[in-house]
Amino acid sequence: MKTFTVLWDEVAVKELKSIYDFIYTDSPSAAAKVKDEIVRCAKELKTMPRKFQVYEFANEVTGEYRSIIRWRYRIIYEVIKNDVHIVRIIHTSKDPLKIIL
């Protein structure tokens, strides 16, 4: 089975930290749980990144963008050759047409 390298873009890292910090104010344990689950989902992309749906709102940009939803967060990533780039982590309440990739 082919293995991909999972890479995190700087914007996605900042968004994950913001999510963690926001939840932490109410519940440190919930913040850790959400962060750990998002990281786990990203790591799983190393084996089968194309099993998740194409991110349909990425039609204005070139590339193979896909997404996973965990709880209320959408992990948007791009498959480039042997790499998976985590590009955004956004709350599902955000208007997908206003998200810049």
44: CATH = 3.30.2310.20
Confidence of residue 59 (pLDDT cuts 50, 70, 90): low
Domain that holds residue 89: 5-96
In-domain check, residue 65: yes
Q: How many domains does the chain have?
A: 1
Confidence of residue 57 (pLDDT cuts 50, 70, 90): confident
Mean pLDDT computed over 68-73:
92
In-domain check, residue 77: yes
In-domain check, residue 101: no
Task: Give the distance, in angstroms, between the CA of residue 96 and the centroid of all CA atoms in the same chain.
Answer: 14
Q: In sequence order, what are the residues at sequence separation of 6 or more whose Cβ sits closer than 8 angstroms to the Cβ of residue 47?
A: 1, 2, 3, 4
In-domain check, residue 57: yes
